[in-house]
Structure 1
Amino acid sequence: MKVAFNNQVAIVTGAGNGLGKTHALALADRGAKVVVNDFGGARDGSGGSTEAAEEVVAQIRKNGGEAIANGANVADFEQVTQMVDETVKQWGRVDILINNAGILRDKSFSKMSLDDFKAVLDVHLMGSVNCSKAVWNIMREQNYGRIVMTTSSSGLYGNFGQSNYGAAKMAVIGLMNTLVLEGAKHNIKVNALAPTAGTRMTEDLLPPEIFKLLTTEAVTAGALTLCHEEAPNRITLCAGVGGYSVARIVETEGVFLPESDQTPEDVLAHYAQITSAVGQKELKAGSEQGEKFLNKAMAFIKSQR
């Protein structure tokens, strides 16, 4: 099938450079009207200018597309609300939101200041919250919306020196999981993208020959897969260097221990069975865990009658 975005309106945050820029260009090339949002700060979030966003807009218009630049700081809900209001005034709707804006302030946890920890959460987590909140009721009312969170292997699996970044990137998975449930009846689909790409956030962390392989285009192919009309829902798609996979949170089948056996010693005695991968599965809501445990308890009670 052909993936197209004709007559759709997309907001891409952090779109002045790197992945966001490639996302914006690809969406415009496939027919979307694009808001190129970029605060224009340095990699650590300092500074601010719309120059980078304006350059992307110029490129889109040169290619025959429609785009506007916006310099809202995603960590500021008032600025984000103004951006969304301007978008609706310009084009009447918002169909797609790609939460891509980010900063890095890497240090080991022992050396990291709480200000640096909070700054990263404010952009990655609260930036995603602010932008999603600002478009949510619009998408509900038009009965259509596609939202992409940008997560990371640093959040899914951990990475030395990135406790702030990892915490924020795992938090957006929790945000996605709940928004999926709340948006389902309004045709709002929410997914997450875990990219591996060569951007200004990673260019001094990798050897040049490896950096060249990490094209942003490979990741953007995944991003567009997650936000088109026939997109999946609640998927964490990992993309980079031409590789694509899905990350899932699964829960083991586990065991039931009667009240007389609910001690640390008994848990340890059953540890192999508790951690066994046999029968593990992906749960679709937090309530399913409780239901599983209650079913095990009820089955035990019946067996004792």
Structure 2
Amino acid sequence: MNTPRSPTIRRRRLGFELRRHREAAGITIDVVAERLGCSASKVSRIETGHTGAAPRDVRDILDIYGVPESVKEELVQIAREARQKGWWHPFSTVLNSAYVGLEAATRSIRTYEQQVVPGLLQSEEYAIAMIRAARLGDTDSEIEQRVHVRMARQSLLTQDDPIDLRVVLDEAVLSRPVGGDKVMRDQLIRLVDAARLPNVIIQILPFAAGPHAGMDGTFAILEFEEDEDADVVFAENATGGLFLEKAEELRKYYSIFETIRATALPPEESIEMIEMLVEEPLWKLKRRVSGSI
């Protein structure tokens, strides 16, 4: 699944190239829309990668810009690839954003999580419990589809050319028994197993660290296979999430992640902490302290 031919990333690349050629030609979006007989918003959405473009439309757009034939052929081919369906397409009704399509083209992901185990590291039972709690309006069928997509995404970590995954987890992630005691203990064991993979690094940010650079929220930095595809930051929320692509935004989040990583426990100490929590879970300790059953 990890391929630079992901239709999502190809659509994003196509939009970037079309915008670059339009600006080089000194032509406005309104002029392009008038020549094509469509709305300016459609042209804008093509350039931002939110909407695909038919190969014929791409050729017509490039004719307006007067680009060489060789460039046209290359971008028309990208337009064809962008119109292909990704493996996740049958589940598009339960996907809130383009994240899965972008993730499929990554070479590495750096992520910080405050509340839950990242989807790439979740056990199936944990995923079911988490989605059921967070998606109150979902039917059983929708929950099943979301879990199926989440499990399928995890092949990115074990395929022949796996992605690199760097994760910093707040200690709170390990403290909340999502799905109950057994499900959470099994999830912790799964984290230990994942951390032993050569392409995965997991670090724990302990409560003792106090205030830290990541307190504004969780995020993931996606880095792509091809140099022409700019990295992107994804900040998830209940309605899908926010994609950040500007150079200054990327620099800020890279800095935040490196600061958090340096504050967190080293990888081996983090694994030891997770293994300890399998035997002595924090939620058990808190029940004893609070006197609850």
TM over 0.5: no
- For normalisation by structure 2, the TM-score amounts to 0.28
- TM-score, normalising length: structure 1: 0.27
Which structure has more relative contact order (CA 8 Å, sep 6+)? It is 2
